[in-house]
Structure 1
Amino acid sequence: MFRGIDEVDWASMEHAYGSAADVPELLRGLASPLPHERETALDGMYGAVHHQGDVYDSTLASVPFLFMLAGQAGLPDRGGIVELLASIGGSGDGDDLGDSGDRGEDGDDAAACRDTEVSEDDNHGMARLAVQAGSGVFLDLVSDGDPEVRRAVPSALVRFHGEPPRLLALLEERLRDEPDDGVRPALVESLGLFARLHPGSAAPAVDRLVSLCAAPHDPGLRLAALGQLASCAPDRLPADLVPTVVALLHTRSRRFRPSAEPTRTSSDTLIGSLRRMRPADEEGAQLLRTLHKALGARTADRIALLKGQLSSQDTADRCNAVWMSAGLFREWRAAYEEPVALIGEQLASDEERLRGAAVSVLEFLFTLAAPAADRLADLVASAPDTRDRGTATLDRPLKALARSGDARAVPALAEVLRHPLVPNETGYMTGYLGPAAVPLAPLLRERLAEVPLDAPETYGRAAPLLSGLGTLRYAAAVPEVLRLLHGAPRELRLREALVKALARALRAFGGAAHEAVPALRELLAGGCAAVAADALWSVEGDAEAVLPPLLRALAPERDGGGPRTAAEALGRMGAAATPALPGLRRLTDSAEVWERTAAACALWDIAGDPAPVLPVFRAAWRQNPYTRGTISACLVRMGGAGVPVHDLVRTELASPRRHRARSGGHGSHDVLEDERLLRDCRTALEAA
């Protein structure tokens, strides 16, 4: 099985963590008779040799041996090896090969990909060619005795093996002969993938999918076919799609009986963790996830589908619906009050997994979670008292309630703050609660007084508390801020981060922090000059003292906090920063989009001239969607002067997709920032 493995110079190769000398051990581990060793080895392959989808020279060298393992009859867990090979060969592609890549003249992506020359330094291209070259092994595995292998192979075969007529005939044959109900949906998914990858040969596959959508086929198979049809031929979907899907879902749920819990390994690996987190009805989750993804911007249909899922008597169906709602909420804009309220109802369930899923989704919705606030408040009120033991993280229902802006979170946060060990994120919660959080200020101050000086955890503990105190403008905490400022860590990186957080808090305190003026003046000559000058202006208003360090910081080659920080500080000074206008105009030509954006905002706030500002805004808005929040906030301040770029604002408001939505990941505050952008866009139009 491993013939030739010791002849490969693995030590001369690399993976994500350096030398690839350990790769033979990982490959041999995949063939271990012990389940936990196989899982650990597969985790190592994903974690190092194929780290986050990357392809290294050691990844390419592993491919022949992975094919040897995949073809070894009787070896357990080969389905995972087939999936690894498919991932390696598909590295560099989009989420769905049907949505990316150039098609050949006959509309055949796979043929075009095979015929493309690949340079020796294109590891992703070479990986695809290597998996294509070995894809004959997949042909031998379509009728393998292991159902997990038969489940993994069809999509790999369609992705990497040519000859569309042969592939289609093989899929039809397997659909007819496959005895395992758990494998048949994978074959249906492969039909949809075939239709997307081989549009020139897709008609028979689409017709087959249409036939599979109808009775007397099994509800699960019909759901799989509808999901694939939505992705490759949405015009062939039934007019009553949502009622049909909901009815099939409920029928399937009544018939579905979870198989015996599979043996779980105890290895502490990412793969092991993911396996333990799998939903009780993983097949049902995949079926509906595929359909939701294919429906995309059809938010009305997706909301109706979610409502049907959430009305199911089956806990697994409702849990799957909650998780699927996350992708909808993060990517698309719509009125979500009804599905959010239904997700809130799941918080009353006795099923811990369902409650946990609901809280996880509500956490990132912020104000959009308001329809579920009553249920969140009930859950917070019923939570056990943790004051005597402390926790490393804030209870998630409380976090979700606070992020929604509900004042009922304040008493619970106060109880958390009365304990000496405070979860770090607690201080940030005040920013979402507005004036209701004022009673928390003395407690934040008490906890800040207990933060140790010059310790590794100093910044991590202090920064959230400082954020909260700054949000509440609680200047009574100036002595505690100065204590930390004078005792800041000696290590430069930790010191600068802490000093900047302290300076921002003092800036928020304004004139009431006059006691801090001497300390801030001392900082004007160091690496935190820009934030210190910003704070000093807010506290004392001495333009002669703060302008020189801010002007120096505008130059990219100078220390002082960076041009962007300086530009933002100068903008807050308004007309008092007029001497900075030449430097800010130069900064609008910066190669860095955030520096250009900050400079343009400052130019408006200082001089009130839209001419040099609006072209910068237009270019930055299109180049980097993350700048839109900053730009829209400035357009609110500009009123009618911003009208020439209001076409961008109207286009944004008309877009159904969130401005931060992207494939392959998401940020915890993406929904919040998008809702703020929409608010500011509407306000900017109203103010014109």
Structure 2
Amino acid sequence: MRAPTELDDVQWLTLTHAYGSAEDVPQLIRALYQGDEETADEAIHELYGNIHHQGTVYQASAPAVPFLAHAVRHAPGKRDDLLMLLATLADHDPADVEAPHWPGRPVAAVCAELCRVLPELLPCLGDPERVVRRAALRVVAAVAELLPAELRASAVGQVEALYADDPAPAVRADATVVLSRFGTGPVPLDSPIPEVRLTAATVAAEKSGPPYPAELVEIIAEDGAEPDPGDDDFPWSGTTTPDRHLTRLLTRDPDAGLAVAARWITAGDLGARGSWLAREITEIWRDRQPEVLDLLLAALPHQRDTRTLSHRLSVIGRWIAYLPEPDDDLRNTLHDYARIGTEAAEPALLALVRSRDPRALELVLRRPDARALGAAVSAFPETADRLIPAIRHELAAGAAGNAAIALVAALAPFGAAADRARPELIECLRTRRAAVAAARQLGHNGVLTREIASLLSEAGRSTDSSLRGAAAVAQYRLTGETGPALRTFESLLVANGPTHWHLSGLQPLGSAAAPLLPLVEPLLTARYEWTRFAAAEAHHWITGSPERAVRVLADLVAPTPVGLAALKALAGMGRFPEELRPTLRAFAFSPLRLLSDMPFSEHEHPDEELRTLAWSLLALG
């Protein structure tokens, strides 16, 4: 260990951390000794942000270790926080120590320093405060595989003593984990202490891998239903708390995970752990929606706050559309929540709409909003006579931002009937509320008036490049004149900006955009993948030939957002190169989801779309 009096012996100015020079580290370490809790908290917070930042350590991290170790033993208070900082600094994958670059990594230097000071930190394993003992165990675990034989024997002996005699069940459970890191100690599946049994079962499941033995699943289901409220303060690795680690472990075996989730929900869904586990499983594994929705329905009465209840209803709403026929219990429950005037009513109503329950339409029309109306258009496309007036009313009432954009977009599926909303669309364009969407829809409606022509001409001179492009396309649709649209897109494609957005606007022009080919073709090899994608689509629309586009799009296909867009474009062309077939089969038949959901998305889950598109292309033969 090194005392604060030695801080000036280190050339901190020559060392770096997350924000550059480490010259501020000495004053942060000195602040730990001032006896002021708020000052110490701020210093520790700063150290977590500079010598450790988002899982990374730096040049200055290892030199700080002996000073932090001294502060653990001699600074007033904060022993548990400082021990956790040391454990976090040394966090690494044990497999990395065999890699040739390990000696040169900052984390290797941190671990080396921590091994040197560990003998002086081991007394913390006998600290009278439980939180200090728990934090000290994590320090030992962080370098367990790196300790020399004599130090290892000493550490193992003290950890075994904690496992055998500590009065705190959480400490005994932690000691079980540390002994497993050392490759020693019992596997106490029959321990009389639930926390120890649960930890032992978790460790055993991690070692065995899925599918997990029934004995382990039973212990986890029985002993894991009630979370330890103190666990969040004691992650084992980075921010991975024991509870989060257990959830991740269970998602690797969906049958075991759903069985455990069912038991936890039956036990009251304490901490919403069972319903959260069920939600995670359907985000990771395909075709688990029916089981998960049954579990979420059972969990709804157990939700203890409106925020959690609303989240669970939102998850139901995300997946209910994939059930061929949602059962009556689920739809009746959603209807009950949707009728009451609480925060939970909105997600319940969206879920009810997506279940295609006829009662949902009445509730939407009684309490219209953009999201509910947009969902109702998809669920009840035959009800234009009822939905279009409601959309018009919301637009006329001043809907703006994303709400206005969603309302205008909801008109598109109604075709010619959407022209009834022409006055509201004109007002949106005039006031620049959802102006881009309004311009596009006015172009689709096919009706040109002097007022519309004037507004589109004005929009074509806007500083908003997206609005200029949308106005140019709308003018072309309504007049058939190519000149203004070509001039607009020529200027957009040569300017700095979101080129891929502008390329995507060329579809309505089709072959009329041929004069723009000299600008489009070089973009087929652009560095940015979204630009290559949009250029390939535009090239196909303009030339009518898929040959060049197919090759560019096929190279982009991957389980990524741009890869999904490329796959959708290939499906629209009905073409793909034969060498893409193995990739398509992987997309179609993977039991795991290959694409994650997009936050706040109102559209089909991207992984479901990925699989459907892969199937459709494979069906081409």
Query: Normalised by the shorter chain, which TM-score bucket?
Result: 0.7 to 0.9
In 2 relative to 1, CA 434–628 (structure 1 residues): closer, same or farther, beyond 3 Å? Answer: farther
Indicate the SS of the match to 1:333.
Answer: coil
Amino acid at match of 1:250: E
Instruction: Report the Cα offset of residue 6 of structure 1.
Output: 9.8
Q: Give the drift of 1:674.
A: 1.3
Contact 1:470-1:504 at 8 Å conserved across structures:
no
Which deviations, in whole Å up to 9, do the C-alpha atoms of 1:425-484 show, x marking residues without a partner? Answer: 6666557545277444433333333439xxxxx545644444444565633334334334
Quote the sequence identity (%): 22
Q: Is the 8 A contact 2:373 2:387 kept in 1?
A: no
Instruction: Tell me the residue number matched to 2:333.
Output: 375
Post-superposition Cα deviations, 1:117-154, rounded to whole Å, max 9, x if no partner, equal 24xxxx77776666666555543322322212222332
Instruction: Find the aligned partners of 2:121 and 2:515 in 1 and give their Cα distance.
Output: 70
Per-residue CA deviation, residues 625-650 of structure 1 (Å, 9 max, x unaligned), is 22232122223222255655333211
Distance 1:534 1:685, change over 3 A: farther
Counterpart CA distance in 2 for 1:137 and 1:534 is 73
Cα distance change on mapping 1:148 and 1:593 into 2, 3 Å: same
Task: Please name the residue that 2:162 is paired with.
Answer: 174
Q: How does 1:79-158 map to 2 (within 5 A)?
A: 79-90=80-91, 97=93, 102-104=96-98, 116-118=103-105, 135=118, 138-158=121-141
The letter of the residue matching 1:308 is: R
In structure 2, relative to structure 1, the CA distance for the partners of 1:654 and 1:568 (3 Å cut) is: same
Partner of 1:232: 207
Deviations 1:466-503 (Å, cap 9, x if unpaired)? 444456563333433433433449xxxxxxxx543443
* 1:294 equivalent among 235, 249, 252: 249
Q: TM-score, normalized by length of structure 1?
A: 0.71
Cα distance in 1, alignment partners of residues 68 and 592 from structure 2: 40
Q: 1:471 to 1:131 in 2, by over 3 A?
A: farther
1:532 corresponds, among 462, 471, 475, to 471
What SS is found at the alignment partner of 1:534?
Answer: helix
How far apart, CA to CA, are the structure 1 residues paired with 2:392 and 2:128? Answer: 66
The one of 262, 265, 275 aligned to 1:310: 265
Question: Distance in 1 between the 2:374 and 2:120 partners?
Answer: 54
Q: Distance in 2 between matches of 1:11 and 1:463?
A: 53
C-alpha distance in 1 between matches for 2:83 and 2:7: 19
Superposed displacement of residue 75, structure 1: 1.9
Using the alignment, how far apart are the partners of 2:549 and 2:438 within structure 1?
31
Shift in Å, 1:31: 7.5
User: What is the distance in 2 between the residues matched to 1:181 and 1:562?
Assistant: 57
Residue 513 of structure 1: CA displacement? 6.5
Residues 641, 75 of structure 1: CA spacing in aligned structure 2 closer, same or farther, 3 A cutoff? closer
2:419 aligned partner, one-letter code: A
Alignment correspondent of 1:547: 486
Answer whether contact 1:231 1:295 (CA < 8 A) is retained: no
Equivalences for residues 25-64 of structure 1 within 5 A:
52-53=54-55
1:385-426, Cα deviation, whole Å (9 max, x unpaired): x8xxxxxx9844334445666564444444444xxxx7x866
| Range moving further from structure 2, 151-160 or 588-597 | 151-160
Indicate which of 418, 423, 443 corresponds to 1:479: 423
Provide the secondary structure at the position in 1 that maps to 2:472.
Answer: helix
* Aligned-partner Cα distance in 2 for 1:67–1:79: 11
Give the corresponding residue for 2:297.
344
Question: Residue 147 of structure 2: which of 163, 166, 182 is its match?
Answer: 163
Distance 1:404 1:28 in 2: 61
Distance 1:16 1:216, change over 3 A: closer
Equivalent residue for 2:618? 685
- In the alignment, the residues of structure 1 paired with residue 63 and residue 432 of structure 2 have an alpha-carbon distance, to the nearest angstrom, of 50
Q: Tell me the TM-score normalised to structure 2 length.
A: 0.78
Q: Tell me what 1:442 maps to.
A: 389
How far does residue 378 in structure 1 lie from its aligned partner after superposition?
Answer: 2.1
Which is bigger in relative contact order (C-alpha 8 A, separation at least 6)?
Answer: 1
Q: What is the 5 A alignment of 1:7-26?
A: none
Check conservation: 2:524, 2:535, Cα contact below 8 A: yes
Q: What is the identity, as a one-letter code, of the residue corresponding to 1:175?
A: Y
Amino acid at match of 2:103: T
Q: Which residue of 2 aligns with 1:75?
A: 77
CA distance in 2, matches of 1:675, 1:25: 54
Q: Does the CA contact (< 8 Å) of 1:478 and 1:516 recur in 2?
A: no
Letter in 1 for 2:605: L
**Contact 1:428 1:465 survives alignment (8 Å):** yes
Give me the whole-angstrom Cα distance separating, in 1, the residues matched to 2:353 and 2:39. Answer: 43
Deviation at 1:546, TM superposition (A): 1.9
Answer yes or no: is 1:611 the counterpart of 2:547.
yes
Which residue of the partner structure matches residue 321 of structure 1? Answer: 274
What is the Cα deviation at residue 594 of structure 1? 0.7
1:290–1:189 CA distance, 2 compared to 1 (3 A) = farther
Shifted more, 182-191 versus 583-592: the winner is 182-191
Contact 2:536/2:553 (8 A) holds in 1? yes
Instruction: Compute the displacement of 1:287 (Å).
Output: 5.7
Are residues 137 and 325 of structure 1, via their aligned partners in 2, closer, same or farther at CA, if it must alter by over 3 Å? farther
Counterpart of 1:494 in structure 2 is: none
Q: Which whole-Å CA distance do the structure 1 matches of 2:359 and 2:18 have between them?
A: 47
Alpha-carbon distance in structure 2 between the residues aligned to 1:365 and 1:181:
40
Gapped runs of 5+ residues in structure 2? 235-239
Alignment correspondent of 2:589: 654
Give 1:331's match in structure 2, choosing from 284, 289, 303. 284
1:502-558 Cα deviation digits (max 9, x unpaired): 434445x43146653333244445533333333434444443432333244334xx2
- Given the alignment, which residue of 194, 197, 222 partners 1:222? 197
SS of 1:612's partner is helix
Alignment of 1:503-542 (within 5 A): 503-507=439-443, 509-512=444-447, 516-525=452-461, 527-528=465-466, 529-542=468-481
Q: Tell me how large the CA RMSD over aligned residues is.
A: 4.6
CA distance in 1, matches of 2:475, 2:26: 60
Closer/same/farther in 2, CA of residues 238 and 593 from structure 1, 3 Å limit: closer
Q: CA deviation at 1:182?
A: 1.2
Q: Distance in 2 between matches of 1:513 and 1:9?
A: 74
Q: Does 1:249 align with 2:193?
A: no
Larger Rg: 2
SS in 2 for 1:660: coil
Q: Give me the whole-angstrom Cα distance separating, in 1, the residues matched to 2:395 and 2:14.
A: 51
1:343 positional shift: 0.9
* Distance of aligned partners of 1:300 and 1:174 in 2 relative to their CA distance in 1, 3 Å threshold: same
Whole-Å separation in 1 of the counterparts to 2:70 and 2:441: 61
**Matched ranges for 1:423-502 at <5 A:** 429=375, 433=379, 435=381, 438=384, 439-451=386-398, 459=401, 462-470=404-412, 474-488=418-432, 499-502=435-438
Q: Work out the CA distance in 2 between the residues paired with 1:45 and 1:401.
A: 49
> Which residue identity does 2:564 align to in structure 1?
G
* Secondary structure at 2:618 match in 1: helix
SS at match of 2:570: helix
Query: Alpha-carbon deviation of 1:19?
Result: 11
| Residues 103, 109 of structure 2: 8 Å contact kept | no
Would you say the 8 A contact 2:188–2:197 is kept in 1? yes
In 2, Cα distance between the equivalents of 1:138 and 1:432?
63
> Which of 144-153 and 353-362 deviates more?
353-362
8 Å CA contact retained: 2:282, 2:288: no
Who is 2:237 aligned against? none
> Which segment drifts farther, 627-636 or 639-648?
639-648
- Asked if the contact 2:520–2:535 (Cα under 8 Å) also holds between the matched residues in 1, the reply is yes
Change beyond 3 A, Cα 1:432–1:152: farther
Equivalences for residues 395-414 of structure 1 within 5 A: 395-402=346-353, 408-414=359-365
